[in-house]
Amino acid sequence: MPRLMKEFLPMSRPLAALGLSVLTVLGAVVLYPPECARACSCAMPPGSQIERAERALSNSDAVFSGEVVRIDRPSGPIRSSGDPETDTFRVLESWKGPKSGTLEVKTPVADMSCGYPFEEGRAYLVYASEKRQGLEVYLCGETKPLPKAKEDLAALGEGEKPGNGDALTDTSGVVPAHTVIGMAALALTVSLLVTARLVRSG
């Protein structure tokens, strides 16, 4: 009996190690599903930057430069790294897609799902595609900070700037100077008319 136990113990150690490895792998799969465990990996597309910009213009549904003025991230617990955030842009120049003073794009909230790391207050050259949730942007595209987009801008040429009617509404609470001047002129005109009528009636 002791001899049998001595023969069994050396065999049980490899089996125990194998069992522990299997449990570790299973635990990792449960705790970190495949969609969260994979990091985003982008392959370098072929061609020069100018060729890539021209190809991206052709393949995108919207191409514009703009400043991020608002970022809305999912409220509550994130169910998936692919949950989208909404980034609102003040459009500076447009080459393709909707002609508007503001545009919203969506991107996964986590970079492991190839979400683009937009930052509020920074300007970008954006290549977006129309998908189920609207205009979407991913890290592996040609979207980039505007200061790093000189070659793209050279390839794109001159774009279209949004008209005054599409300008972003000012929500700061400060009344523009031209509005103040217009209101003062209107008040002065009304005052002169009332005074003139009173003089005539007197």
Answer yes or no: is 80 within a domain.
yes
Domains held by the chain: number: 1
Q: What is the pTM of this model?
A: 0.62
Q: What's the pLDDT tens digit per position in 72-93? A: 998 876 667 678 999 999 999 9
| Residue 118 included in any domain | yes
A 10 A CB-CB count for 68 gives 18
Q: Which residues pair with 123 in a beta bridge?
A: 67
Q: Is residue 5 part of a domain?
A: no
- Residue numbers of the domain that contains 55: 49-166
DSSP summary character for residue 128 = E
What is the CATH number for 138?
A: 2.40.50.120
pLDDT of residue 128: 97
3-state secondary structure 37-82: HCCCCCCCCCCCHHHHHHHHHHHCCEEEEEEEEEEECCCCCCCCCC
Question: Residues 47-74: pLDDT tens digits?
Answer: 999 999 999 999 999 999 999 999 999 8
144 assigned to some structural domain = yes
